[in-house]
Structure 1
């Protein structure tokens, strides 16, 4: 059996013990529960002993399993320490860094930061994939991703907050001249919205009323687009109200192509995070990228 297969089985076994269940270990490792169970079973066959005492309600280590677990933890710690020492011993980050970023936000707010890191560190190779799709970092081989909004897979990812994306509602002067300018959540009803959405669904707009309470006005939406720049273009063309990030909206407000209807004080901001697969140590190239994003992105957002 290849050494790599043996180590993979050991790591899976340790994760299963630490998680307390095969199901949770599978979630953390990005595997199916069946794959974790099979890896442990192969390990038991190779060792010729039972590692887990399984019942319908719980799983616990056998005496042999406990002894083997303690040795595995020490062995993996030594391997991780060796890898970390080798990586931290480098004078500068090196190797390939694969990053997934949202399409427009990534282009305007993330790519310049990462390009600056590539310029600063000649041994660093940065690959950026631009997509609003939520990628599976482990499955698709990404070292790092930038996410806007709630984190849905935080059980398997580590995260660091980069800032807050302030939002606003705007429209073209011609649209407002024709349809009127809504000032309260109730006045939004009857207006037309250009919304961000996919597969027939879209995020509901939430607007604060005079008391500060969040309201969800009913706004008709005949245009549902999955590209923020296309939403801005449609708003400039007079097709309706648009919910846009303030960093994108600013230049249209300055040119007069769009008019602010509701500012960031009365809308809900979206948190921006850097996320990466949980691991025992963080490669220098990933750590440097995270630190660079923490330092720069909040300033770009104006938050």
Structure 2
């Protein structure tokens, strides 16, 4: 719209609001049909607004509707004109035709998908990357796995002073509680630990340079050379050897070197 039309639309909206108010008051007072009179405004209206005004008059005549409907039509026209006047000050959006032109661009022709290659003998035919399952964690050697003394340097528990290198991890356990082999393997030692303070001790070889030891036991239920399965009960928690109370001293050796059992478990 041009600035002149914008001004005209705003004037008409204000005028119609005033006349709608007067019309409603007149109807309530006299009970007669009330039609807003805009002829005296002497406004040069655009064709669209003239058409709207004709439609409002058509539906507000006594022959077609009651005075209440005539007042409602006037209200509708007033709101429409006021909305047009306000919208005229904002940049007009793209037209419906323009949107249709944008949306009617031809779709690309579907491309023929290449045939899947036949799977190699013994294969699955899938092109997804093969993800290897992580290695299974060893079974826990004793229920609860409550650590009472970790791997590494510590104060000697027997004397209460002096640093010593703790070669394993101590787990709390009741006297006689089941001790299990962390992995399948072969028992290579089962008896009293003659070269250290481990008391009754079991050593299981798991192959690949990995061994586990179970110390301070109260019971030994396996013998050297005996194969054991993962999680198989091999003894009972005790307090034999250099021990201040029932617990399991558990060690892991890789190629003869002690490592932190918690990193292996």
* TM-score (normalizing by structure 2): 0.17
Structure of greater Rg: 2
Structure number having the greater helix percentage: 1
- TM-score if structure 1 supplies the norm length? 0.16
